[in-house]
């Protein structure tokens, strides 16, 4: 099944009942899947919005009304959604936002890229906030992490980004959908009309500086809990490694191919694959630096996660970088050459 469609199916199985989106390549199959299948489920709403701005703000309204809500786009469209993502974070509303990244900046192209790492992991919009960022590296993981994204969004009442690229969205692999876990959330934030109770409101505007500061610290404390509880990563062939690659998503798949080739040539190389890009598995990388003196960060950009790896290592080990931005998909053979060169140095 194709990656984009898998995200749609996983979302519906996870109980997503509101989707608003706007056409943009390379994620259109997801919007189209939702258009076809959301109508078939009870209470399911699909809206083709007039813009990315409208789509994310529809999601805001649907989320406040209690629905599991999602929108999706690709890089330029995600830039437009940042207003709403910032508002969702401020309002502490759950939502899932899918970014099937393409080459940038600007309109760029429609080829796979990882150029939006900074935007995704640093909040993305204005203000002092974070979003949980999940980076799948297989179609199976697209299914699993889409379901997890809804659970995490509910658990922390925070927007969650599924950050993949055009390669992940377009590729076809076998997939098994697991049974979704029952939705767990506290009813109290949802607005359904006051009924017989007291009226409530959700707002992001807090004019008083001290109260705004309190809200910022409250969000900060939540992010601290997320950072402690939700870090995810995979290690691959790390046991005897003398050099470790750090890569995520499509780049991590390429890295695995390169590692197999390098191992055949007798090079002891392994992989750390962050699955959550925020919170970032910096502690894990730092621990590896006790055994390994050389790290190679590999991204489909000019070096963004590189900064997080350097921050994690704080000079404890050598860090090199290899990247191909702009929609170029490097081959495992190409990366294996880079690894071999790295070892000789």
Partner 1 sequence: MKKVFSRPRTLKDVPFHYCSGCGHSITHRLIAEVIDELGIADRTIGIPPAGCAVIAYNYFDIDMLEAPHGRGCAVATGMKRVLPDRIIFSYQGDGDLAAIGTAETFHAANRGENITVLFINNAVYGMTGGQMAPTTLLGQTSTTTPPGRTAVLDGHPVHFSEVLATLAGAVYVERCAVNSPANIARAKRAIRKAFQYQMQDRGFSLVEILSQCPTNWKMRPTDACRWVDEVMTKEFPLGVIKDLQAKG
The nearest distance, CB 186 to partner 1, in angstroms, is: 16
* Residue 42 buriedness (CB in 10 A; 0-12 / 13-18 / 19+): exposed
Q: Which residues pair with 165 in a beta bridge?
A: 101
Computed from CA positions of residues 97, 120, 249, 277, in that sequence, does the dihedral angle turn out positive or negative?
negative
The nearest distance, CB 194 to partner 1, in angstroms, is: 5
Structure tokens at 127: 């203000």
Q: Which is nearer to partner 1, 54 or 231 (CB)?
A: 54
- Which spans of this chain sit near partner 1 (rule: CB under 8 A)? 17-18, 20, 43, 45, 47, 49-51, 53-55, 57-67, 69, 83-84, 87, 91, 191-196, 199-205
Q: Which is nearer to partner 1, 157 or 256 (CB)?
A: 157
Q: Which is nearer to partner 1, 84 or 270 (CB)?
A: 84
The nearest distance, CB 211 to partner 1, in angstroms, is: 13
Q: Which is nearer to partner 1, 65 or 172 (CB)?
A: 65
CA distance 62 to 331: 42
Residue 1 CA neighbour count, 13 Å, CB half: 18
The nearest distance, CB 313 to partner 1, in angstroms, is: 39
| 236 within 8 A of 269, measured Cβ to Cβ | no
Cis peptide bond prior to 105, omega within 30° of 0: yes
The nearest distance, CB 156 to partner 1, in angstroms, is: 20
Q: Which is nearer to partner 1, 18 or 248 (CB)?
A: 18
Determine phi and psi for 52, rounding to 5 degrees.
Answer: -65, -35
């Amino acid at each position: 099944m194709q990656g984009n469609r898998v995200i749609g199916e996983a979302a519906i199985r996870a109980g997503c009942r509101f989707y608003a989106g706007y056409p943009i390549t390379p994620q259109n199959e997801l919007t189209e899947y939702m258009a076809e299948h959301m109508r078939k489920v009870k209470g399911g709403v699909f809206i083709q919005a007039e813009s990315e701005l409208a789509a994310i703000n529809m999601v805001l309204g649907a989320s406040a009304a209690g629905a599991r809500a999602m929108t999706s786009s690709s890089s330029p469209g995600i830039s437009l959604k940042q207003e709403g993502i910032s508002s969702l974070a401020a309002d502490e509303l759950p939502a899932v936002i899918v970014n099937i990244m393409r080459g940038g900046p600007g309109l760029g192209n429609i080829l796979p890229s990882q150029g939006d790492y900074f935007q995704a992991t640093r909040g993305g919009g204005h203000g002092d906030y974070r979003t949980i960022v999940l980076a799948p590296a297989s179609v199976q993981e697209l299914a699993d992490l889409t379901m997890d994204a809804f659970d995490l969004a509910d658990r922390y009442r925070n927007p969650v980004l599924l950050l993949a690229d055009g390669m992940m969205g377009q590729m076809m692999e076998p997939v098994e959908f697991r049974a979704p876990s029952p939705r767990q959330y506290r009813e109290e934030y949802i607005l359904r009309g006051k009924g017989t109770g007291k009226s409530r409101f959700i707002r992001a505007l807090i004019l008083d500086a001290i109260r705004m500061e309190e809200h910022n610290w409250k969000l900060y404390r939540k992010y601290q809990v997320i950072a402690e509880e939700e870090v995810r990563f995979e290690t691959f062939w790390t046991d005897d490694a003398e050099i470790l690659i750090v890569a995520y998503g499509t780049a991590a798949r390429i890295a695995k191919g390169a590692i197999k080739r390098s191992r055949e040539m007798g090079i002891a190389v392994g992989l750390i694959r962050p699955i959550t890009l925020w919170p970032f598995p910096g502690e894990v990388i730092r621990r590896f630096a006790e055994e390994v003196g050389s790290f190679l960060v590999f991204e489909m950009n000019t070096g963004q996660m590189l900064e997080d790896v350097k921050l994690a290592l704080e000079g404890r080990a050598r860090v090199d970088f290899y990247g191909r931005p702009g929609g170029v998909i490097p081959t495992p053979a190409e990366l294996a050459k880079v690894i071999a060169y790295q070892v000789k140095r």
